[in-house]
Amino acid sequence: MYGFINTCLKSLVVEKYGEETWEKLRLQAGVQDSFLTFEVYNDEITMQLVDKACKILGVPADMVLREFGEYFFEFCKRSGYDHMLRTLGGNLYEFIENLDALHSYLSLSYQEMNAPSFRVEKNEDGSMHLHYYSDRRGLCHIVPGIISAAALDFFNIELSMEIVNQTEEEERTGKKEHIVFLVTQNPVFSYKERNEFSSSSQYVADSDLEKGKNTVRDSESSVCPVKKSHWKTIRGMITLGRGKLLRGFDPVYPKSLWIDTKTFCNGLPFHMVFDKELRVKQAGVSIQKIVPGLQTMGIFLDHYFSIVHPEVPFTISSIQKFINSQFVFQTRREMMPESWKQRPMLELRGQMIWMESLQCMLYLCSPLLRTLHELEERQMHIADIAPHDVTRDLILLNQQRLAEMELSNQLERKKEELRILSKHLEEEKKKTEALLYAMLPQHVANQLKEGKRVEAGEFKECTILFSDVVTFTNICAQCEPIQIVLMLNSMYLRFDRLTTVHNVYKVETIGDAYMVVGGVPVPVSTHAERVANFALGMIIAAKDVQNPVSGNPIQIRVGIHTGPVLAGVVGEKMPRYCLFGDTVNIASRMESHGVPSKIHLSSSAYQCLKYKNFEMTERGEIEVKGKGKMHTYFLIRNKAATENEIMGRPMKDLDSGRESAQSIQEGRPETIQVSFSVLLSATQTQPEKDQTPAIAMKYIDGPTDEQNSLKRRNQAKIADLTGSYLVTI
């Protein structure tokens, strides 16, 4: 099928069910997102889309296809085929009867189109039998949708269509699907039209009773006899140069044909007359020139031609059955002169007329040529076609039409390429923005992108953290540079993840120094808690990073201070969002005067965390370079959060750990879980590998030695399973 069909199906799904449904549908069907109108696609693509649409929407196939048929009619109208469809016929019967002619015309442009075929029969009760033939099975339910929509739109008629017969058409070659629909018409009138129709019908009926059965009313309200002589009819039409609209028309034929045989064969150069046995009785001069064998009268037509459309056996009965269809004949290569066998075979397209008096069939036809190139390939000329034959104009117009189609196709391809490039550009833009937002706060980056100047801002209170690696200089002196890079990358990746977990802003890294801030650039009241939790996570994460010299886990120092800062963007090339003020200096001093694997707090940071469920110990007064004596503290743990929560691990791991602890301590006193790593960092002062952590436990009721021994054994078991100690209160 051409992409036009698939584009229509996509438009239906998007319009009725939304873009998300189409995206889901096409992914399940495994097809591309867009289709070129004049590109030929495998029928399997359309079948897959219909099949998946039925499953996703939960609607039977016949309902989906009928809805598609109704939408396809509207889609064709919107695509520029409105006037062409409206002028096919004056009533529904003529409309259906000329569908094959429409498909034949469209095949000039859509050369690989494999259209269905239609044949319609009138019944005495006013209903019709519509015969539908197709090479594709399973799409017959589209037909009621299309025909019903056309009948309602063009003729104001509602239809009911039901399948009365469904067979594999043996008469046609290749076993085509043959569906017979019973079509019943129900006129639709508006309220105003119904009243007008009723009143006019009553008026005509009363008039007929008064004037008699043999009279009818004409358009000027005068009474005209039904039976008129021939000359009275002519006078009524031409009196004073004015014609009258007659309700009926009876053609007039001469007593004999006023044309000689030679003129007829020259005037209609492409025609043939053959009898029931397919013997050729007469042929036009141009067709004799193309098929010289036709100059021998009495030859069999099927020896020189084969039927291309409709695909029926070459018998007089089959032709009579499809007499309302356009017939396409193709010359047989084996019957052509030897010198002509390299040419493409000529196709003829035309109408069959049965002459009852002669018991012969007249085939009025024209060459089926789409372009001037096809005309040249068959070594024919425009002069070979009769001047009255519209094929002359059709070839020239279609040549222009094909050029426009090719241009349209190229534009569609360019449009698709631009769409794909735009999609890739959007993806790259997102990557660039992600990189930019990693370097600068989002609102600052957006202001810089818009060319605006970013003013420095004052933050009355925030919390700043500094960290560095213990003995980093010695490590650098004893190993290769690449090992240092790998170690720092491994550590910083873990720290970067924690900034997202605790929603703190990473300011920068210089060598082994890592700096974050809470409450900047977006002020928050929980800045100290966020940074404290982040610091606890850093201590835990550092244990997973290996020292490339000793092979032991690295140790870090962490310092935290709370106070006011000034923040702004510095520089134009590689701009950085920097913090200024004494708060930065003090935070840096807290880190440099800290203890390995501990979190050093200033008194202001301690005051912010004092009533926030954090366990802290007093370090006392220390001499701080450039600041004199300062009272500082150590952060031990968060009493309200577990290690898994601090590290932002999945709840699944957290739940499994708790379940294991509960299963072991069943029947024991009420307990709370404390991070083993946090307790370890609270007392560990030297990085000795074999040092045993000291755990300080306070008992309310003064436990006995036996109770202490039992508790320690339970704690050891739980620590082995969960990596945590349970401290009884």
CA–CA separation, 549 vs 228, rounded Å? 122
**pLDDT, tens digit (0-9, with 9 covering 90-100), for 383-398:** 788 888 877 777 777 7
Which comes out higher in pLDDT, residue 186 or 669? 186
Share of the chain above pLDDT 90, in %: 26
Positive or negative: CA dihedral 305, 308, 310, 315:
positive
Write a three-state SS string for 415-457: HHHHHHHHHHHHHHHHHHHHHHHHHCCHHHHHHHHCCCCCCCE
pLDDT at 631 over 60: yes
pLDDT bin (cut points 50, 70, 90) of residue 399 is: confident
Residue 674 confidence (pLDDT) above 70: no
The pLDDT, as a whole number, for residue 558 is: 95
d(CA 181, CA 165): 7
> Angle CA(631)–CA(603)–CA(724) in degrees, nearest 5?
100
pLDDT per position as a tens digit, 601-624: 999 999 999 988 899 999 989 998
Q: Which phi-psi region, left, alpha or beta, contains residue 667 (left: φ > 0; alpha: ψ -120 to 50)?
A: left
In degrees rounded to 5, what are phi and psi of residue 397? -65, -40
The pLDDT of residue 531 is above 50: yes
Residue pair 710/699 in contact (Cβ under 8 Å)? The answer is no
Residues 6+ apart with CB under 8 A from 725: 674, 676, 679, 695, 715, 718, 719
Per-residue confidence (pLDDT) for residue 236, from 0 to 100? 52
pLDDT for position 516? 94
C-alpha to C-alpha distance for 255 and 243, rounded to whole angstroms: 26
Q: Which alpha helices (H) appear in 316-389, and where do they start and end? A: 316-321, 372-377
CA distances from 263 to 126, 132, 282, 602 (A): 43, 40, 13, 117
Q: Which of 73, 24, 76 has its CA nearest to residue 49?
A: 24
pLDDT of 651: 63
What is the CB neighbour count within 10 angstroms for residue 443?
12
pTM (2 d.p.): 0.46
What is the model's pLDDT at position 619?
92
Average pLDDT in the 349-364 region?
A: 92
Highest mean pLDDT among 134-138, 656-660, 695-699: 134-138
- pLDDT value for 684: 33
Query: Of the candidates 633, 583, 586, 609, which has an alpha carbon nearest to the alpha carbon of residue 460?
Result: 583
Mean pLDDT of 428-443: 81
Point out the least confidently predicted range of 63-77, 208-222, 477-491: 208-222
Residues 6+ apart with CB under 8 A from 479: 548, 549
What single-letter amino acid sits at 522? V
Q: H or E element: which one contains 557? A: strand 556-570
**pLDDT over 70, % of the chain:** 78
Query: How would residue 233 be classed by pLDDT, with cut points 50, 70 and 90?
Result: low
Q: Which of 372, 333, 356, 353 is nearest to 271 (CA)?
A: 353
pLDDT at 194 over 60: no
No. of helices (H) and no. of strands (E), the chain:
26, 22
Return d(Cα 367, Cα 389) in angstroms, integer. 10
Q: What are phi and psi of 545, to 5 degrees?
A: -105, 130
Q: Stretch 275-303: mean pLDDT, rounded?
A: 89
Q: How confident is the model over 121-169, as pLDDT tens digits? A: 888 888 899 888 888 888 888 899 999 999 998 888 888 898 888 776 5
Residue 587: C-alpha distances to residues 108, 632, 634, 683 (Å)? 82, 12, 14, 23
Say whether the peptide bond before residue 344 is cis (omega within 30 degrees of 0). no
**Rounded mean pLDDT of 543-563?**
92
* 8 Å CB contact between 504 and 518: yes
SS3 category, 396: helix
The span from the first CA to the last CA of the chain, in angstroms, equals 78
**Cα–Cα distance for residue pair 118/324, rounded to 1 Å:** 10
Are the C-beta atoms of residues 183 and 133 closer than 8 Å to each other? no
pLDDT confidence of 726, banded at 50, 70, 90? very low
For residue 615, the model assigns a pLDDT of: 93
Digit-coded pLDDT (tens) for 23-80: 888 888 888 877 877 778 888 888 888 888 888 888 888 888 889 889 888 888 888 8
Contacting residues for 478 by C-beta, under 8 A, at least 6 apart: 549
Is the distance from CB of 63 to CB of 71 less than 8 angstroms?
A: no
Sign of the torsion angle spanned by Cα atoms 215, 216, 217, 218: negative
Residue 214 pLDDT more than 80? Answer: no
Before 116, cis peptide (omega within 30)? no
Helices 61-76 and 43-57 cross at an angle (nearest 10°) of 120
Angstrom distance (rounded) from CA 507 to CA 334: 86
pLDDT value for 248? 63
Angle at 270 between CA 266 and CA 276, to 5 degrees: 110
Mean of the per-residue pLDDT values of the chain: 77
**84-119: pLDDT as tens digits:** 888 888 888 888 888 887 887 777 667 777 888 888
DSSP state of 596: T
* 3-class secondary structure, 243: coil
> What does the DSSP 8-state code read for residue 77?
I
Cis? peptide before 521, omega within 30° of 0: yes
Q: What angle do CA 503, 654, 608 make, to 5 degrees?
A: 40
Q: 216-228: string of b/e by CB count within 10 Å (b at 16+)?
A: ebeeeeeeeeeee
Task: Report the alpha-carbon distance of residue 231 to residue 423 in Å, rounded.
Answer: 76
